[in-house]
Structure 1
Amino acid sequence: MSIFKRKNLLVGVTTCALFLSTGCLQNLANSNFSPTSSFNSKQINSESDGIVALKEVFDSSVEKIPTLSAVGYAVVSSQPGRTDAQKRLMAIRSARMAAMRELAEQIHGIQVDSNTTVIDLMVQNDTFRAVVKGIIRGAKTVRINPTGVDTYETVLEIDKDMMLMMLKSARRT
């Protein structure tokens, strides 16, 4: 592998590591941070220099830490329960869990598995599965609203202080 390809690969890996470790996936468009501006001036001559550059990214301070937010929805009529009140409470709980799943996707990412079967140059079967795994700490409920006649919306957020604590924890490991 040529040095030019190594440099580009290292810059890409380092940039991805920076974004995944800080959880900046949702609010990246709102920030003025340019991930490639500091790397354009660096000359990375060997793999050991690349490791040092990656360590600098993890050790550097982040000026702008985002507040992550997520929205979850659930339908009341499809919930289990004997009374309408029970179904409403279950819909609120389901909407909260859907919002938690969205936060986990933003922080930890999503694993996608897929399988495609082709016979005689025609797709016979195309399936995919998405898995989200992760621990969500410090999510606060911003609001719970009925939307329409039969649906609830729940909005959760993880504030900047909790994001900073998670970033510090990720740097220690």
Structure 2
Amino acid sequence: MRYWCLFVLAFLVGCQPLVETRNTDIITAVGYASISEQPGKSIEEKRMRAMRASKLDAYRELTEQIYGIRITARAEMDDQQLNYETNDSSVDGSIRGAEVIRSYPIGDNYVTEMQLDLNRMERLKGSVEVYSVPQSQEVMF
């Protein structure tokens, strides 16, 4: 009987995966925004603006993961010394079907966690019209 239990135990252990399996069709992103830095007359208004800004930040992170990020950099040297340096980044893309998993305050920050099923996004992409985003926009945060 003892050998039978050992055999069953060894068989069950052998059936377990050695590495954790992960669905690569789902990507996640986290967005952050400061509550006190938001414009507003009351703390409730600032908190609502921070909630919206953190959601937009999470969308931006999802867009970076899917479409990449465009980096423009410039450095100016004079006599082998760095005088002037600028870096600019932008991201452009359409995200459809993302879901907010959690949204909560931590200290003075608001955090939004999102996930996106890439298969769902692909299905939704063919069913709606995509409009281009205007070049000149004001950033909320």
Amino acid at match of 1:155: E
Structure with larger Rg: 2
Matched, 1:133 2:92: yes
Give the count of matched residue pairs.
107
Match of 1:95 among 35, 54, 70: 54
Deviation, 1:164, is 5.0
The aligned residue for residue 165 of structure 1 is 123
Matched, 1:83 2:32: no
TM-score of the superposed pair, with normalisation by structure 1: 0.56
Measure the CA separation in 1 of the matches of 2:41 and 2:98. 30
* Residue correspondence of structure 1 range 24-63 to structure 2 within 5 A: none
CA contact (8 A) 1:65 1:163 kept: no
Amino acid at match of 1:165: R
Matched, 1:109 2:68: yes
Give every structure 1 segment of 4 or more consecutive aligned residues whose post-TM-superposition deviation is greater than 2 Å. Answer: 163-166
SS, match of residue 138 in structure 1: coil
CA contact (8 A) 1:74 1:95 kept: yes
Flag structure 1 segments of 5+ consecutive residues without an equivalent. Answer: 1-29, 33-63
Which is richer in strand?
A: 2
Flag structure 2 segments of 5+ consecutive residues without an equivalent. Answer: 1-19, 127-141
Measure the CA separation in 2 of the matches of 1:135 and 1:160. 12
Amino acid at match of 1:127: T
Amino acid at match of 2:114: L
Deviation, 1:165, is 3.0
Matched, 1:153 2:94: no
SS, match of residue 48 in structure 2: helix
Give me the identity figure in percent: 36
Q: Which digits, 9 at most, give the CA deviation of each residue in 1:7-26, with x for residues without a partner?
A: xxxxxxxxxxxxxxxxxxxx
Measure the CA separation in 2 of the matches of 1:135 and 1:163. 10
Measure the CA separation in 2 of the matches of 1:160 and 1:129. 28
What CA RMSD, in Å, does the superposition of the two structures yield over aligned residues?
2.2
CA contact (8 A) 1:72 1:153 kept: yes
